[in-house]
Amino acid sequence: MLPDDPKANIEPDIDLLDDEVEEESSLPAIEENAAPAEGPLAGGVAAIQRYAKLAPKAPGVYRMIDAKGEVLYVGKAKSIRKRIVSYAREAGHTARIMRMIAATAAIEFVSTTTETEALLLEANLIKRLRPRFNVLLRDDKSFPYILITAGETPPMITKHRGARSKPGDYYGPFASAQAVHRTITALERAFLIRSCTDTVYESRTRPCLLHQIKRCAAPCTGEISHTDYAELVREAKSFLSGKSRAVKEELAGEMERASSALDFERAAIYRDRLAALSAIQARQGINPRGVEDADVFAVHQQGGYSCVEVFFFRTGQNWGNRAYFPRADRSLEPGEVLGAFLAQFYDDKPPPRCIFLSHEIEDRALLAEALCVKSGHKVEVSIPQRGEKKELVDHAAANAREALGRKLAETQSQQNLLAALAATFGLPKPPRRIEVYDNSHIQGSNAVGAMIVAGPEGFRKNQYRKFNIRSETLTPGDDFGMMREVLTRRFKRLLSEAPLPSTAGPACADSPVSGEGVERVTGSLESEEHDSEADSPWPDLVLIDGGQGQLAAARETLAALGVTDVPLIGIAKGPERDAGRETFFMAGREPFRLRPRDPVLYFVERLRDEAHRFAVGSHRQKRKKDMRETGLQEIRGIGPTRKRALLRHFGTLKAIERASVSDLEHVPGINAETARKIYDFFHETAARA
């Protein structure tokens, strides 16, 4: 193995290597005096032959690495040596595999006890290293769950993302945060479980508004006993665990008994709770009767793109769906894309008991076994052929087809706009990466710089960046100085992580895929170069929210760093800040405007407005955090201890601002004099404002 770890921040490409099926017959051994391969593959084949001698015969994972130390491909094998030897063959490879072999300079191996462990490790490494020859799962943000907490205080219901570090019961996943919010709201009406934080719960002295509108039982003020509240929580957990019919029958029975006893007010409460439960199930769309716990996957391909649609069914209810567009080579079959997608999808998610697929995948039994090991319960991976389950898969396939159609239409529209943008501003080609910069501050305080990124697929929100202005020499409100700092930090880091585009051509003279004999792989190199341009971290166009001064500051900053070939455009707001009357500034051109209702003008305005939205939002978050952390400590006599006591009692800074002197005196450690200081501080500040 190589002593150094490969780089983990490699941008993804769209290629995938086929995991060749292990053959029953033994693969040819590497001979000491074997004739070397000729042509562009010679270097890669020689490197593979050297490492094949060191490869273990056990199951495991291998990493193909290029001369720069970047990971090209991560694969698994039942026998690593057999798999590596198969790459040393001179024939029988697809053009995609030949490109990877030609670029390979070294191989790393990790042995595992079983092939199942190798599958799990492979998925983890692909997501972490993002090799350019693997299918890559994009838009892999975490799914939201419903959490019913456990602890000393009565349980609360809340939305949760990320690691399951909090004690309690988790239910999900849900396809979107909106689905979680709707469900929580309905569950509050049905089971009256609190949703306030523990800090707010402990500081309550009277029931809140949620109790008044019949969405909370108010255990905070003793409106319900802990025993009765625990029963409500039990019913909610039963409902979310799939026992919805039993819960509804129990509530219906209680309603009838209350009605028979002429306790119509109590019967009305049960009636409203039943209506809330029905509303939850009605919003789920299709709710299969024979499927309790399952995920449904369907893949559709069109125009060289792939879409994987996922439906989530839990407790017999449809908890939403989501469309994914993984980066995959155009030559891959649907089953190949789906198989590579699944292992990465469940790398950080608990699998359900059933997984239904639209296409057959390689190593389906191995995937089921790996998910069983991961989850601790049996997982069935199947391809339904008839009945209700087949209808669910067909429904997912129809959604995948529609989602991909919308994606292709949006992509085409975006490409047309980029082509028009290039023509309007005289760019050599349509930009594949546009970076837009803006600043936000209030008289220099809480200053934040923001960068957004856009391309043919639209906004790339996972590549947005914010910059906390750190320079102490800047004059408050110096927009030019802020822009210099932002661009300096951004492009200094870019220069350290990637070479300048002008010095990093698509293929060097001594590249293993250049020179004589390139005909064997040239047919696939064009798309590879195109994709490497798309994934380049260097922008093809930089937009600055500002006029001539901002543009000059940006040009001086980039020139000082040696970056001179990145197009820069300044966008100055129109008179009275009217949208549609912006003035554009470029080097070598007089300031100009675009005609009203020009699609390019609308497109640039949308980019500028998105940068402004992101900058202002980042500034507000920083200002809010700053106020929360320092606002109280500006008061004489309020240190960290009293600050914590106030926040623990009232919950939020806003509640402290609204508190009366008598309310403040009830906080432990706050006497009458200190309470008056706190009250006067906030109210005198408000008066000055």
Each residue of 110-127: pLDDT tens digit? 888 888 888 888 888 887
Strand, helix or coil at 457? Answer: coil
Task: Give me the pLDDT at residue 629, please.
Answer: 54
What is the structure's pLDDT at 40? 58
Instruction: Using pLDDT thresholds of 50, 70 and 90, give the confidence band for residue 501.
Output: low
Query: Which CATH code fits 434-504+536-623?
Result: 3.30.420.340
The residue with greater pLDDT, 2 or 154, is: 154
- pLDDT value of position 444: 60
Q: Tell me which of 186 and 36 has the higher pLDDT.
A: 186
Residues 199-209 have pLDDT tens digits of: 788 878 888 88
How high is the pLDDT of residue 118? 85
DSSP E strands in 272-334: the ranges are: 294-302, 305-314, 317-324
pLDDT on residue 199: 79
The string of pLDDT tens digits covering residues 244-291 is 667 777 778 778 877 777 877 778 877 777 776 766 655 444 556 667
pLDDT attached to residue 25: 36
Q: Would you state the pLDDT for residue 356?
A: 94
91 vs 408, higher pLDDT:
408
Q: Which two tokens stand for residue 640?
A: 């960290």
What's the one-letter identity of residue 278?
S
Mean pLDDT of the region 382-408: 89
pLDDT confidence of residue 228: 87
What residues contact residue 437 under an 8 Å CB cut-off, 6+ apart?
449, 450, 451, 483, 486, 487, 542, 543, 544, 545, 554, 611
Mean pLDDT computed over 338-358: 87
* pLDDT above 70 (res 648): yes
* Average pLDDT of span 603-616: 88
pLDDT in tens, 310-339: 988 887 777 778 888 888 877 788 998 898
Residue 535: pLDDT over 60 = yes
- Cβ count near 341 (within 10 Å): 22
Q: What pLDDT, on the 0 to 100 scale, is given for residue 393?
A: 92
Q: Per-residue pLDDT tens for 94-106?
A: 777 888 888 888 8
| Sign of the four-CA dihedral 329, 333, 334, 336 | negative
Percent of the chain with pLDDT over 90: 10
Whether residue 515 has pLDDT greater than 80: no
Is the pLDDT score of 616 beyond 50?
A: yes
Looking at domain 294-406, its CATH class is: alpha beta
Least confident of 102-111, 286-295, 301-310: 286-295
Q: What is the token pair recorded at 528?
A: 């590879």
Confidence of residue 434 (pLDDT cuts 50, 70, 90): very high
Q: Which residue has the tokens 């028979």?
A: 260
Mean pLDDT check: name the lowest of 6-10, 42-46, 569-573, 630-634: 6-10
Burial class, 657, CB count within 10 angstroms (exposed 0-12 / middle 13-18 / buried 19+):
middle
pLDDT, mean of residues 442-460: 81
Q: What is the predicted pLDDT for the residue at 201?
A: 84
Kindly state the average pLDDT of the residues 424-432.
Answer: 91
Better-scored residue on pLDDT, 358 or 124: 358
Q: Which of 89-103, 223-237, 253-267, 527-541 has the lowest mean pLDDT?
A: 527-541
- 434-504+536-623 shares the fold of 294-406: yes
Q: How many residues does the chain have?
A: 689
Find the range with the poorest average confidence among 444-448, 513-517, 598-602: 513-517
Closest by CA to 347, choosing from 171, 140, 166, is 140
When pLDDT is cut at 50, 70 and 90, the band that residue 243 belongs to is low
- Residues 55-60 have a mean pLDDT of 87
CA–CA separation, 273 vs 281, rounded Å?
Answer: 13
Superfamily of domain 631-688: 5' to 3' exonuclease, C-terminal subdomain (1.10.150.20)
**Best CA proximity match to 425, nearest among 670, 647, 180, 592:** 592
Can you give the pLDDT at residue 435?
Answer: 94
Rounded to whole angstroms, the Cα distance separating 187 from 315 reads: 15
- Residue ranges of the domains in the chain? 1-134, 145-283, 294-406, 434-504+536-623, 631-688
Give the position of tokens 């989530």: 312
Task: Label each residue of 80-139 as H, E or C.
Answer: HHHHHHHHCCCCCCCHHHHHHHHHCCEEEEEECCCHHHHHHHHHHHHHHHCCCCCCECCC
What percent of the chain shows pLDDT beyond 70? 79
**Candidate from 72-86, 411-425, 457-471, 646-660 with smallest mean pLDDT:** 646-660
Name the nearest CA neighbour of 130 among 82, 62, 50, 72: 72
What pLDDT is stored for residue 32 in this prediction?
40
What's domain 1-134's superfamily in CATH?
Answer: GIY-YIG endonuclease (3.40.1440.10)
Whether the pLDDT of residue 633 is over 70: the answer is no
Mean pLDDT computed over every residue of the chain: 78
0.85 exceeded by pTM: no
Our CA dihedral for 417, 421, 422, 427, rounded to 10 degrees, sits at -150
Q: How confident is the model at residue 347 (pLDDT cuts 50, 70, 90)?
A: confident
User: Is the model's pLDDT at 383 over the cut of 80?
Assistant: yes
Question: pLDDT tens across 562-585, in order?
Answer: 888 899 999 988 666 666 678 899
pLDDT at res. 26? 38
Q: What is the mean pLDDT of residues 478-489?
A: 87
User: What CA–CA distance (Å, rounded) separates 383 from 360?
Assistant: 7
